[in-house]
Structure 1
Amino acid sequence: GGNLAAVVALTARDGGPKLAAQLLIYPATDFSRKHPSHREPETSILLTHSVIGWFANHYLGDADNNDWRASPARAKDFAGLPPAYVLTAGADPLRDEGDEYAKFLKDAGVPVTYRHFPGQFHGFFTMGKLLNQANIAVTEISAWLKTLG
């Protein structure tokens, strides 16, 4: 979802509809999978390192994983994108990608709200009945969305 949202934001900026914002919840932004969080044992929870490989193979097929339409972090320019909320989880293989992407956006002058949830894993956001951190994330994102007018 976060990957598609980032790609849609880049595409829309370059000729699509004007978007109010981009909400990137633990986004996959670089299919090279070379970030340290892709090798840490503690990040291979639910969304395991091998499952990411499976998804990448099925999602990309023979496509070039360096193409920004697959790996939005490979875009040449991030200026002019809509405000972004980027959420990362500490025990998520995609953590470093989301962190890096938030920095790319910020460096390009895009307003970024970055929120990191240490100790949480990919998928925690949907587990509000079990994890209070999910409720906190939903509440914070709801408040952010309301600021967009």
Structure 2
Amino acid sequence: MALKDVWFSPAFGEAFPKGLFLLGEIAAVTEFSTDRNAPKRQKVDLDNEGNGTGKRLWKGTVTDPTAMGAKNASFDVVFVADVQPVPAVGEVVPGMTPIELEGLQVKPKVAGSGEYKSIGWNVRATGIKGDTSGAKQAPADPGAVRQAKAA
């Protein structure tokens, strides 16, 4: 089937009408190595044939306030970005930060095993709205290297 590797791009408000909350921190996705003493290497967005963006992968766990049932309440979002995304606002309660994803993409997958299978979703994004880490725009503090614009 040709739709096997297709990512769909819904609008954030359609997919998550009440938004999302980031649980904890966003961390680098590391490659698996059978050598436990080998240094950890961060995964990049490339498949076995070399297709993809080549950008680094980051992962954060989020919760959806509109999800029905505990099974669907939280899931991981993979961020495809050169720089680790940083939420623009602070925590509303300890460990929970409201976020809005930019460049949202979803792909269906089979979840569960045996006779208890259901449809799940792979979710990825290019960043977080309002992020000033440099992932989507120049950093908030350009430093002394760049000259300020003349007024």
Shorter chain as normaliser: what TM range? under 0.3
TM-score by length of 2: 0.22
Structure label with greater radius of gyration:
2
Q: Provide TM-score, normalisation by structure 1.
A: 0.22
Larger RCO (CA within 8 A; separation ≥ 6):
1
More helix by share: 1
